Amino acid sequence: MGAIVVKGPCNGPIEVQVDGTIIAPANPAALHDAYEWIKFEYVDFFTLSGKGVFDGQGAIAWNQNDCGKNKNCDMASMNFGFNFLKHATVRDITSKDSKNFHVNVLGCTNFTFDHFTVTAPATSLNTDGIHIGRSTDVKILNTNIGTGDDCVSLGDGCKQITVQNVNCGPGHGISVGSLGKYPKEEPVEQLLVKNCTLTNTDNGVRIKTWPSTPGTNPITDMHFEDITMVDVLNPVIIDQEYCPWNQCSKQSPSKIKISKVTFKNIKGTSKTKDGVILICSKSVPCEGVELNNVALTFNGTEVDAKCVNVKPIVTGKAPKCVATAAA
């Protein structure tokens, strides 16, 4: 099936039930630069259900992806776009091998993913599982996400986001950001990540902002609780010097204020000795960061905590924070 748009407004609740497998063209060009392969938008009381699989056949697109070297790269299509929906549910559906992000949620209110599945190999470039932007009251529940990028990522303008009972891996973890790249970004607030397990991911729970960029939107009320890490590279990380592929300058610090962040009851194993990394901005240091019962080990010994421009509140068991000069 080629790219489609299912667009409201509609006069009543709409349910789309899919129980088979729908396959995208393997050649990215066959989708004619569609931002998303399958798009649902401007519907109130929308449900996508069934045991169906949406197969994006992304392998060719991943091999063509040169965005790490080329800022003007062509962006392949995402599997799903959910835009400006109110009171929406996606349940029991599988997104497989998307060419780009699996799901993009934009401008939605009261949206629930339940028993959703995302599956793609660890080598699939830029295939975030669920990306949320400018949306309020989004819940991701009882979901399994294995992909080549962030399992869940939050863009600007997100409020009241819940990620609960989610298994993540492979992937890059559960991330807030990256933020600050653009001048008119909106604040991010009220995130709860609870009862999640991350297995063999590059990061665990992460907040990331760009240095030397114009964005000033604050990030506040971020709560990561009851998380299990299994051989995770960077289990707990705040990175306000986020600069992938060194495509940016670190000359001036991030302007984004991060506050009221709790890491509570986090256990498991780290692949690195620095299991907790808190690199905050020199111009607006983090405030109200709490480490509460963070019991992580590296090769059987307690991990270290590296801290820059932050003095975390430590309660219960947690690695001692070692102040480190910023890079």
Please check whether residue 169 is in contact with residue 199, taking contact to mean a CB–CB distance below 8 angstroms: yes
Predicted confidence band at 327 (pLDDT cuts at 50, 70, 90)?
very low
In the chain the domains, ranked by start, together with CATH numbers, are: 4-65+75-323 (2.160.20.10)
pTM attached to this predicted model: 0.97
**Cα–Cα dist 109/159, whole Å:** 10
Amino acid at 94: T
Predicted confidence band at 167 (pLDDT cuts at 50, 70, 90)?
very high
Please check whether residue 148 is in contact with residue 171, taking contact to mean a CB–CB distance below 8 angstroms: yes
Please check whether residue 298 is in contact with residue 274, taking contact to mean a CB–CB distance below 8 angstroms: no
State the pairing for strand pair 304-308/301-302.
unpaired
Q: Is 131 a catalytic residue?
A: no
Please check whether residue 243 is in contact with residue 210, taking contact to mean a CB–CB distance below 8 angstroms: yes
pLDDT tens-digit readout, 77-135: 999 999 999 999 999 999 999 999 999 999 999 999 999 999 999 999 999 999 999 99
Tokens read off for 71:
């800022």
Percent over 70 (pLDDT), the chain: 99
Please state the rounded mean pLDDT for residues 218-224. 98
pLDDT tens-digit readout, 38-81: 999 999 999 999 999 999 999 999 999 887 777 777 889 999 99
**Cα–Cα dist 250/199, whole Å:** 31
pLDDT tens-digit readout, 255-311: 999 999 999 999 999 999 999 999 999 999 999 999 999 999 999 999 999 999 999
State the pairing for strand pair 86-91/109-114.
parallel
Q: Exactly one of 87, 102, 131, 172 is catalytic; name it.
A: 172
Evaluated on CA atoms 101, 164, 108, 6, the torsion sign reads positive
Please check whether residue 40 is in contact with residue 86, taking contact to mean a CB–CB distance below 8 angstroms: no
Please state the rounded mean pLDDT for residues 228-246. 94
Task: Write down the pLDDT at residue 247.
Answer: 72
